Amino acid sequence: MVKRQRKKHGFPFFSIYSLLITGFTGFVLLDTFVLPKSYQAIASNETASTEKTGTDTSSTSTSGSSEAVVTDTSYSDDNIQIQITTEESSGTTYYVADIQVSDPSYLQTALANDTYGRNIKETVSDMASDKSAILAINGDYYGFRDTGYVIRNGVLYRDTAEADTDALVVDSDGNFSVVNQSDVTAEALLEDGATQVLSFGPTLVEDGEIAVSTNDEVGQSMSSNPRTAIGQISENHYIIVVSDGRTDESEGFSLYQLAQVMQAKGATIAYNLDGGGSSTMVFNGTVINNPVAGAQGSSGSERSVSDMIYIGY
């Protein structure tokens, strides 16, 4: 007589384990890149004044001055003068905004949905509309990282340094400087009167000299990219450059080429902001450049980002 063996049914541990790992990985990805989370500010600089000198704009229109002269490429009133030019170099189209203000408080920043946090995003044009910005560009996309100092309009939101990375500091007088985050705390910057601190980089121009080499790049980005940079020429005089790239019509800049443009435009200090699909310039409600939203060869589509820098009331 042959004895039949009973078939053993083992616990399907491996299958359940795989499902758990897949589910956990999916949750982590959602938590990191999709699910919005808001966080509280850490501290504020009470000495950071929001009062503006010059023309009293309390009873004027949202443009800031009833006597503003506005064209497709310029804006001028008693407090703010902006001139935008479209130029070409090295097979790349770029847009230059020359800005002069009567008071540094007209240089401001804004967070998407007026909220600090992770995965909270808006397009620059939507943020600009919300703030009635005259001119706006993308910022440092702080929400894409967990490190890097974040101070906006005199409020400290993140004090975790991005080691050995330059941060752009704007003080209460509107003057630019760069610091290595390994050398100073965010709290110290706030106490010293910083109104804006952005963390992306690198520094392009310092003391009028180009501060990057031909081999410098941001992470694994291509050498030719859409770019956004901001610089200071003199007191209350700023320069912004946004370049197109990744298209058949415009190749894009390397960091060194961008630094060359900023230096040629008179910047004594200049800093690289988030680029690629994030690079956006909005002037009087119109997107001036050709954003690619990260897609090769697909122009005209804005990427939603976490913050912007703008000129306005």
**SS3 assignment, position 170:** strand
Q: Which domain holds residue 71?
A: 38-311
> What 8-state DSSP symbol labels residue 100?
E
Radius of gyration of the CA atoms of the chain, in A: 23
- Looking at this protein, which amino acid is placed at residue 9? H
Walk along the chain (313 residues) in steps of 10 and give the mean pLDDT of each run.
50 58 49 69 67 39 68 97 97 98 98 96 98 98 96 98 96 98 98 97 98 80 86 98 95 96 98 96 97 63 96 98
> What 8-state DSSP symbol labels residue 138?
E
For the chain, the helix, strand and coil percentages under 3-state DSSP, each to the nearest 5: 20, 35, 50
Question: Quick one: how many helices (H) and strands (E) in the chain?
Answer: 4, 22
For residue 15, CA distances in Å to 7, 23, 25, 49, 58 come to 19, 12, 15, 60, 66
Beta-carbon neighbour count of residue 72 at 10 Å? Answer: 9
Asked if the structure places residue 164 within a domain, the reply is yes
Asked if the structure places residue 7 within a domain, the reply is no
> What 8-state DSSP symbol labels residue 229?
E
Asked if the structure places residue 25 within a domain, the reply is no
Asked if the structure places residue 10 within a domain, the reply is no
Q: Which segments of 80-134 are extended strands (E)?
A: 80-89, 92-101, 107-111, 117-118
Q: What is the pLDDT of residue 49?
A: 43
Q: What is the pLDDT of residue 300?
A: 67
Q: What is the pLDDT of residue 27?
A: 45
Cis peptide before 104 (omega within 30 of 0): no
Q: Which residues pair with 31 in a beta bridge?
A: none
Asked if the structure places residue 5 within a domain, the reply is no
Asked if the structure places residue 19 within a domain, the reply is no
- Helix (H), strand (E) at residue 15: helix 13-33
Q: Which residues pair with 194 in a beta bridge?
A: 171
Asked if the structure places residue 21 within a domain, the reply is no
For residue 194, CA distances in Å to 19, 81, 99, 146 come to 49, 24, 21, 21
Task: To the nearest 10°, report the CA torsion of 27, 33, 37, 39.
Answer: 120
Total domain count, the chain: 1
For residue 286, CA distances in Å to 67, 133, 241, 304 come to 21, 11, 16, 16
- Alpha-carbon distance of 139 to 124, in angstroms, equals 9
Task: To the nearest 10°, report the CA torsion of 243, 246, 249, 254.
Answer: 50
Asked if the structure places residue 212 within a domain, the reply is yes
- Alpha-carbon distance of 128 to 146, in angstroms, equals 25
Q: Which tokens hold the place of 170?
A: 């704007």
